[in-house]
Structure 1
């Protein structure tokens, strides 16, 4: 059976993605920072008949990430989904309000951690059938789409993640790995807020459809929720 490794699987899009892939018969390696507090994820794992396993992983923690990579050494991973991310405090992201410590924390989680995840698990992806790495980006990381300004911290982290995704797409092409950056839409989650245009279920349906349709020719694309390409 194919295998999905997904970070930030304890809530929102990550939890629903884990649920959907398990329902489709995939083995799901569901990672989160505090498994002991991940009630819904643990319930999903308990009811999955062994399809979902829960693993400790703070993506910004080098020791935990390397331990997980050692645990799964030699295991094919069809999709590595770097879903975990943080927004930072929206109230301190306007010009004149940004603070370096918060900005560095967001960059560490949203940019550096996914890059190191790709480094540590590329060999697992390369030995699988599907060979896909998906990085959860945001249209807020598109320079061409930025007509409102502000949100310096979050925007810059997703723009940087897009560049990382493109570089990895080039570097991993020789291993047959496809790397894409995905926009999930404006979703009603803790991060997206209550006014989002899409439910979690609607977003995940579209994300799964896009990933199912991805081929090696799509490597390096920044894919909108409707399957179109978002301009950088």
Structure 2
């Protein structure tokens, strides 16, 4: 049975990833800040992970010692409304967004590297955004979120270079503008539709995709 660990699993895209992978028969580990009391499909294993705490990924990894992982999906993220407009930047909120969105995925990947090396697929995926694309920034604003996703993209690219020779495939995916707590009610995409597309793209990954930045339909996005 294939195994996946998904961060930010309590709601939105993360929750939908958990449900759809579970429906496909995967063994799913759902990482979230408060696992107690969060209902999941049968067989899903909740794990505590708080990316605001840099020590949390290493603590979480102890529960998975010796267990193979085929796929790590770094999905947890913050928008940072208080660090989105010039003239109104809250430095503390900026740091928090960078910690969760950029440093967090790297620390989770680092902590779970032994598990991923034991897995067959060796896929490391990150939920990024076109807002992290420097080439597609035509509207400005969203300073902390854009910067954090650009940093995440750079991290994915470096992981692809460092881990690729060992058989890993590291990819950044943009889910599109999705109706979630972060995306809001005006977003054109339902989470089910976006995630179904993301999973379809993920399951079709080959070694040639290592280091790519794609949207939920497989379109290449400029870095």
Given the two structures, how large is their TM-score scaled by the length of structure 1?
0.93
Matched, 1:164 2:155: yes
Alpha-carbon distance in structure 2 between the residues aligned to 1:92 and 1:156: 11
Summarize the alignment of residues 167-186 of structure 1 with structure 2, pairs less than 5 Å apart.
Answer: 167-186=158-177
**Number of equivalenced pairs:** 223
Given the alignment of the two structures, is residue 57 of structure 1 paired with residue 49 of structure 2, yes or no? yes
Deviation at 1:174, TM superposition (A): 2.1
Match of 1:31?
Answer: 31
In the alignment, structure 1 residue 15 sits paired with structure 2 residue 15: yes
Verify the 8 A CA contact 1:223 1:230 in the aligned structure 2.
Answer: yes
Counterpart check, 1:226 vs 2:217: yes
**Equivalent in the alignment of 2:111:** 120
- 8 Å contact 1:7–1:59 — kept in the other structure? no
Instruction: Give the drift of 1:136.
Output: 0.7
Moved over 6 A (4+): none
Gaps of 5+ in 2: none
Superimposed CA distance per residue, residues 39-94 of structure 1 (whole angstroms, 9 cap, x where no aligned partner)? xxx2x24xx2x2x11111112323432122122122110110001000011x5412
Report what 1:131 is aligned to: 122
For the pair 1:106 / 2:97, whether they are aligned, the reply is yes
2:67 to 72, 75, 99: 75
Q: Provide TM-score, normalisation by structure 2.
A: 0.96
Match of 1:188 in 2: 179
CA RMSD of aligned residues (A): 1.2
Q: Which residue of 1 aligns with 2:192?
A: 201
Q: Structure 1: give runs of 5+ residues left out of the alignment.
A: none
Match of 1:84 among 51, 76, 96: 76
8 Å CA contact 2:3–2:69 kept in 1: the answer is yes
Q: Which whole-Å CA distance do the structure 1 matches of 2:119 and 2:185 have between them?
A: 38
